[in-house]
Amino acid sequence: MNYAHRTACIADGAILGDNVTVGAFAVIEAGAEIGSGCRIGAHAVIHTSVRMGSNNRIHPHAVLGGDPQDVSFGGEDTRLRIGDDNVFREFVTVHRATSLERPTRIGSTCYLMANAHVAHDCQLGDHVTLTNLATLAGHVQIGERAMLGGLVPVHQFVRIGSLAMVGGNTTVRKDVLPYSLVAGEPARHYRLNSVGLRRAGVTADRVRALQAAFRALRGGRRDLSGVPDGPEIALLRAWLTAPSRRGLTGFAGADGRVDRADGRVDPSAG
Residues marked as catalytic = 120-121, 138
Contact 182, 166 (CB under 8 A): yes
194 three-state secondary structure: helix
Q: CA triplet 141, 154, 182: central angle to 5 degrees? A: 90
Contact 106, 125 (CB under 8 A): no
Q: Which of 240, 250, 90 is nearest to 178 (CA)?
A: 240
Q: CA triplet 247, 253, 254: central angle to 5 degrees? A: 145
Beta bridge partner(s), residue 147 = 129, 165
Task: Output DSSP code: residue 97.
Answer: P
For 169, counting Cβ atoms within 10 Å of its Cβ (0-12 exposed, 13-18 middle, 19+ buried), the class is middle
